[in-house]
Structure 1
Amino acid sequence: MTTAPSCPFCQLAAADIVAENAFHVVIRDRFPVSLGHSLLIPKRHVASLFELTAEEFNALHELLHITKQQLDTQYQPAGYNVGVNVGEAAGQTVFHLHVHVMPRYVGDQEDPRGGVRWVFPEKAVYWE
């Protein structure tokens, strides 16, 4: 396992981990935007999704499905947003890859259409 001493995701407590496989762990976000908001984090310190090996990427995909099943069972969300910030220009502030899995619930936003497009609010409404 590759770690960086100042990286908060390299210093996770075992008690914070809710699921894992050989390459990645899952934790609940400490600043959740929704009930069950989770982060999939590689055990190897890499900054970007694009630095994963094919084996790591496939393991991430598998753990994403496991995480969804756990969240479906525990919280019964109506949908999901799944996102990754890659690079400072995209809003990445912790430079250890982490994939956000944000459960969505009916009524959690007045009009959820546009989903992740709200990163650019002026471009989010495309259907008018």
Structure 2
Amino acid sequence: MTDLEQGMTDLEQGMTDLEQAQQDKIAPWDLEVLNVTDFHVAVFRDRYPVTQGHLLFVPKYNTAAVIGDCFESALRYGQELVEKDYCQGFNIGINSGTVAGQTVMYPHVHLIPRRTDDCADPVGGVRGVIHGQANYHSGGYQLPANEN
């Protein structure tokens, strides 16, 4: 079944994957913002934002294609924010699995607006999820051990 066919089936049943996850208390999002994207993606304010304007792009249907739509929508919206001088840059990311920091077990893509001087050393960006590994220009970076 294609993503579109699955979406039509879900609509006929009256509930999207996201709505089911919210009903089941898996997805606790209730801070939905204005529609800034296509109809497959819901956008919520993050309940615990790391910067002003931190948003979550959430697939209404839990499929790879719609998760891809979340990334595309976050990218477009982030570019608009930069063009409007709301921020000077942005990070986009997803936490997949508890070892990666995922706390809400329904897929969602973070858009984190970045501003000049919002942190002491932004070098490495998302690489900072592993302490000491972000700034590979500094002496603290270590090449991960090879897996055999």
Under a length normalisation based on structure 2, what TM-score does the superposition of the two structures give? 0.68
Task: Decide which moves more: 17-26 or 27-36.
Answer: 17-26
Aligned to 1:12: 30
- Identify which of 110, 125, 137 aligns with 1:100: 110
Larger radius of gyration: 2
Stretches of 4+ aligned residues off by more than 6 angstroms: none
Amino acid at match of 2:34: V
Q: How does 1:65-84 map to 2 (within 5 A)?
A: 65-72=75-82, 76-84=86-94
Q: Give, in whole Å, the separation in 1 of the partners of 2:51 and 2:100.
A: 21
Aligned to 1:49: none
Relative to 1, partners in 2 of residues 1:72 and 1:125: Cα closer, same or farther, differing over 3 Å? closer
1:114 aligns with 2:114: no
- Identify which of 14, 19, 28 aligns with 2:45: 28
Deviation readout 1:14-44 (Å, 9 max, x if unpaired): xx23224221111121211111111100112
Unpaired runs of 5+ residues, structure 1, are 47-51
More strand by share: 1
How many aligned residue pairs are there?
Answer: 118
Q: How much is the aligned-residue C-alpha RMSD, in angstroms?
A: 2.2
Work out the percentage of aligned pairs sharing the same amino acid: 35
Under a length normalisation based on structure 1, what TM-score does the superposition of the two structures give? 0.77
Relative to 1, partners in 2 of residues 1:65 and 1:90: Cα closer, same or farther, differing over 3 Å? closer
Unpaired runs of 5+ residues, structure 2, are 1-15, 139-148
Q: Give, in whole Å, the separation in 2 of the partners of 1:12 and 1:74.
A: 27
Q: SS where residue 71 of structure 1 aligns?
A: helix
